[in-house]
Amino acid sequence: MVMAEPRKNPPLALRSLVVPAIFIGPAALALVLLMAVPIADAVILSFQNWNGMKPPTWAGFGNYIRLTQDATFFRAIWQTAYFTICTAILQTIIPLLIASLLNSGIRGSSIYRTLYFMPVIISLAISGLLWAMLFEPNFGPINTVLRAVHLGAFTQLWLASSATVMPSVIIVSVWQSLGFYLVIFFAALQAVPQELYEAAKIDGANAWHRFFNVTVPTIRPVIVIVIVLNTINGIKVFDQIWVMTAGGPDYASATLGTYLYSIAFGAMGASNSRLGYAAAIAIVILLLSLVVSMIQIRLGRGRDIDSQIEK
């Protein structure tokens, strides 16, 4: 092999910046152009009035003040919170319980997991379209089945009634995400040392006690992650609701995501699309997401400290 000629390196300090800059530069540029600039634009736009055609005019805090007087906005906030809290609870408890059943040493657990995971890979839009058919009140299969088994009294208007639309939307979310959170919990459960269960058994703990006193405390960090993931997804919820109800009937399933969308793009062609106002809602969603993410980081740090103390 030919000896490499001694390379003429620039001074170390400079060199230590140049190489990383070459590696990171393109990605950083993409992030600035495609995320940082749009976010800055959104913030600026939230202080403007703009219909997308004429040049925007400054509005000061006008959009935000109008938000505080907008009953539909508060309804959307309430429904976003409702969706987020319900899904965060149900989509933590149900997958955790089922994962525990799968982890009880029964046969075929991988078959069940594969099956349960199927809905996860389906897009939110497609599952929304599918469930819109399932929920159809007159000839949709859910009501048809209920009538067939003489439970006609339990038939609902589902998506078409303001009383049942939110629970219906939540059912779809639980159905679709079950396999995802279940797989996360299952992996965590597999890592729980078997001796802990045996010790608990010897102490006479029944299945419930073992679940609450061994399983839950041991995998608590994963439970926290799942709750946070659910919360972040809940704040952003849009696709499935937009596809199924577009926020209706009469805003009964409007969330921050669908309300923003219907203001900015829902009235396409109509002259009064209020982009500044929609941007203000976007900023609210952004801030809520950031707060939850901060909490997540905090919790993550706390966890690291915990595990260090235990050692």
Partner 1 sequence: MSSSAAMPSTRRSSVRFASTAWQLAFTRALIHVILILIAIVEAFPLVWMILTSLKDTHEIFNTVLPTHIRWDNFPRVWFAMNFPLHLANSLYVTGLTVALVVGLATPAAYAFARYRFPGREVVFYAFIGVMMIPPQAILIPMFQFLKSLHMLNSLTGLALSFVGGGTAFAVFLMRTFFLSLPRELGDAALIDGCDDFQVFWHVYLPLARPGIAAVVIIQSLYTWNEFMFSSTFLISPDIKTVQSAVFQAVGQYATDYSALCSGLIIALIPVILVYLVLQRQFISGLTAGALKG
Q: Scanning residues 30 to 89, which ones bind partner 1 (CB under 8 A)?
A: 30-31, 33-39, 41-42, 45, 52
The only residue of 66, 75, 236, 303 in contact with partner 1, by rule CB under 8 A: 236
Asked if 199 is part of the footprint of partner 1 (rule: CB under 8 A), the reply reads no
Of 225, 241, 252, 254, which lies in the binding site for partner 1, with binding defined by CB under 8 A?
225
Residue among 142 and 165 whose Cβ is closer to partner 1: 142
DSSP per residue, 266-297 = ITTTSTT--HHHHHHHHHHHHHHHHHHHHHHH
Q: Which of 76, 96, 98, 165 binds partner 1 (CB under 8 A)?
A: 98
Size of the site for partner 1 (CB under 8 A): 90
Helix 71-102 to helix 220-236 angle (10° resolution) is 150
State the minimum distance, in angstroms, from the CB of residue 25 to partner 1.
Answer: 8
Shortest spacing between CB 41 and partner 1, in angstroms: 4
What is the rounded distance in angstroms from the CA atom of residue 258 to the CA atom of residue 234?
12
State which residue, 158 or 242, has the beta carbon closest to partner 1: 242
| The two three-digit tokens of residue 299, written as one number | 């919790």
Where does this chain touch partner 1 (CB under 8 A) — which range of 76-84, 152-160, 208-216, 236-244?
A: 236-244
Q: Which pairs from 246-253 meet CB under 8 Å and 24+ separation?
A: 247/76, 248/165, 249/160, 249/161, 249/162, 249/165, 250/162, 251/72, 251/75, 251/76, 252/79, 252/161, 252/162, 252/165, 252/166, 253/79, 253/159, 253/165, 253/166, 253/169
Interface residues for partner 1 in 100-139 (CB under 8 A)? 101-102, 104, 106, 108, 112-127, 129-134, 139
Residue carrying the six token digits 């203001």: 263
**Closest approach of partner 1 to the CB of residue 162, in Å:** 22
Nearer to partner 1, 85 or 232 (CB): 232
